[in-house]
Structure 1
Amino acid sequence: MTVLIDAPLWPAHGTLWSHLVSDLSVDELHDFAARAGIGRRAFDLDHYDVPEARYAELVALGAVPTDRRELLRRLAAAGLRVPGYARPAAKRSALAARWEALLPGARHVGDELLDRWSEPHRSYHGTEHLTHALDSLVVLDPDRRAPRSVPLALWFHDAVHDGAAGDDEARSAALAEDLLAPLTSSTGRPVVSAPEVAEVRRLVLLTAHHGPDPDDHEGALVSDADLAVLGSAPDRYLRYTEQVRREYAHVPDEVFRPARASVLEQILAGGPVFRTAVGTERWEAPARRNVADEVRRLRA
């Protein structure tokens, strides 16, 4: 176990606070916090905020004292640190506001989705990925001409994520139908029409293979927004690969590495990664470099 805690130096709410982190996995951090009786409300994307009064107790339970600089260095080296620029947008309150703007009056649906996206076993397929996909859609569609079904599909596309390729997408699509179809207005009219629900379902299912037809603009938007991380800066791409590996920590290296390399090689050989003009221009070249570099590491 490698749970770290820095000194209580950060003032708020009439006391000083420490940061509790793990440089191994978020799962380890959640397990330690649960044993210590620290509620999930104290979790802030990559750390728990804990008051000064609990510092000595947590050290006695096994948290290793360290200074702030070393804590951040270890967290970043493990690929677990959520950078400052990504933190505000990935917080639940920010995402809840985006959901309310998209589908007013359906807060209970947004709450259920955010509960799912915040499940503790998710290292990559969590709120940061949801935020990145929604932000990428804004890049692809700055004038917001896409129908509402496109952002709705991004909200639902990994709402079910147990690591079962194909099955997760099918279950996410079914969840979209289950949650959206019953919504009605005060006059009894559907909030989301039956054709729109069907389109959301279709777009979610498309993320199982990311192969929209050439004339499927909405499908291209969803596919490109979901895959945008492939074209990110090298340090962000490396963090993505580490997050994916943690989600499959139960798979031994001798199985994971060739399987992952094979999937990536299929991406490189399958034609353009991105299907929109903007996605192609911005992300195609860096995505191919990132993916090729990862394949070389996996095959080494």
Structure 2
Amino acid sequence: MIYIDPPRWPAHNTVFSHLVSDTSLDELHSFAADAGIAFRAFDLDHYDVPARRYRDLVARGAVEVDGGTLVRLLIRSGLRIKARERSASLVHPLLTRWEALLPGNRELGAELLNRWGEPDRRYHDRRHLLAVLEAVELLWDGPPPRPLLLAAWFHDAVYRGAPDDEGQSARLAAALLAEAGVPVPEIRDVQRLVLVTAGHDPAAGDPAGQVLCDADLAVLAREPAAYARYVSDVRREYRHLDDAEFASGRRRVVRGLLALEPIFSTAAARERWEEPARRNLESELAAAAGNPAGNPGADSGKAGRKP
């Protein structure tokens, strides 16, 4: 069933309603497409629709409910996305982490969070930043060293889907951390670690590089539904590519990851994530084989050079 709440949420000089399904996202997407609602209006578990569409959507079959009922229905359905999965909800907790890491540099932390919150990002956003920071803390034995955490903050600070994203991120780290008074040896270590994430191939004697790369790849081991959302988010980051172009490249990336023996460099990551990551990648590749031109979980050499 499709539900809609009254248009009471202000933005962009109008007010918006929320359109949800209590059955499946497929049902929601199908209803929205039939109603001519652009996919860009989809926000993880609902569509934002302007007030002028409200009566039309009700006429098309959306059931009118109040906002509280709509949220309860969404929660009960299991489709509700938690706050930590919403990039906009993470500014305060991430800024708190930043201030503990580099006190007295709140503006620099805010600048980085603005970068991680750029509107074209759908996977490489603040959610990914928080996930990498938490994975680093999980994998490192004791408090992680500051250069490692700073590298996590900067590793996708520049993200355009271009071959030199990591190089630009490393250069940005050098410039901004120098202004913040971080010692040169630390800055060089941060730059080195950021560049290691380009190929996810850290040296055997580089524990910080191994942990950062494993943290960056931890998404591969998510539960199947969460993995599917990650793949869909990556596809949305490369919506300028057509399906066939995106799919062929993603297959190359997935095959490349499966060819790694092992995928993860640290023992802790291998124990936790190796098996589920391989299952997810193999399932994605099998699905792509059944739908080679349009599989939503596909990503180009450009589009999916990295997960």
TM-score range, shorter chain: 0.7 to 0.9
Q: 1:261 aligns to what?
A: 251
Whether 1:207 aligns to 2:197 is yes
Q: 2:224 aligns with which of 228, 234, 238?
A: 234
TM-score with structure 1 length normalisation?
A: 0.76
- Contact 1:5–1:71 at 8 Å: present in 2 too? no
Q: Residues 76 and 255 from structure 1, CA distance in 2 versus in 1: closer, same or farther, beyond 3 angstroms?
A: farther
Question: Any idea what the Cα deviations from partners look like across 1:222-265, whole Å, max 9, x if unmatched?
Answer: 10111100111111111101101111111111111111011110
Tell me how far 1:87 sits from its aligned partner: 5.1
Q: 2:5 aligns to what?
A: 6
Question: Any idea what the Cα deviations from partners look like across 1:43-72, whole Å, max 9, x if unmatched?
Answer: x9877999xxxx745637989865527984
Whether 1:194 aligns to 2:184 is yes
Distance 2:194 2:137 in 1: 18
Cα RMSD of the aligned pairs, angstroms, is 3.5
Distance 1:27 1:98 in 2: 33
Distance 2:217 2:284 in 1: 15
Distance 1:148 1:27 in 2: 40
Q: Residues 265 and 225 from structure 1, CA distance in 2 versus in 1: closer, same or farther, beyond 3 angstroms?
A: same
The equivalences for 1:125-140 within 5 A come to: 125-140=124-139
- Contact 1:210–1:223 at 8 Å: present in 2 too? yes
**Structure 2 residues without counterparts, runs of 5 or longer:** 10-15, 21-27, 291-307
Distance 1:254 1:76 in 2: 32
Which residue identity lines up with residue 285 of structure 2 in the other structure?
V
Distance 2:45 2:96 in 1: 21
Q: 2:262 aligns to what?
A: 272
Question: Any idea what the Cα deviations from partners look like across 1:124-177, whole Å, max 9, x if unmatched?
Answer: 001111111111112112521x3101111010111111111x311111111101
Tell me how far 1:29 sits from its aligned partner: 2.8
Which residue identity lines up with residue 211 of structure 1 in the other structure?
D
Distance 2:103 2:48 in 1: 32
TM-score with structure 2 length normalisation?
A: 0.74
Q: 1:159 aligns to what?
A: 157
- Contact 2:139–2:268 at 8 Å: present in 1 too? yes
Tell me how far 1:289 sits from its aligned partner: 0.7
Distance 2:73 2:240 in 1: 26
Tell me how far 1:272 sits from its aligned partner: 1.2
Q: 2:286 aligns to what?
A: 296
Q: Residues 117 and 147 from structure 1, CA distance in 2 versus in 1: closer, same or farther, beyond 3 angstroms?
A: same
Q: Residues 213 and 288 from structure 1, CA distance in 2 versus in 1: closer, same or farther, beyond 3 angstroms?
A: same
Q: 1:29 aligns to what?
A: 41
Q: 2:109 aligns to what?
A: 110
State the number of aligned residues: 262
Distance 1:172 1:135 in 2: 20
Q: Residues 247 and 70 from structure 1, CA distance in 2 versus in 1: closer, same or farther, beyond 3 angstroms?
A: farther
Which residue identity lines up with residue 258 of structure 1 in the other structure?
S
Q: 1:147 aligns to what?
A: 145
- Contact 2:17–2:54 at 8 Å: present in 1 too? no
Q: 1:174 aligns with which of 161, 171, 175?
A: 171
Distance 1:265 1:26 in 2: 32
Distance 1:250 1:19 in 2: 27
Distance 1:103 1:263 in 2: 35
Tell me how far 1:295 sits from its aligned partner: 1.1
Q: Residues 251 and 72 from structure 1, CA distance in 2 versus in 1: closer, same or farther, beyond 3 angstroms?
A: farther
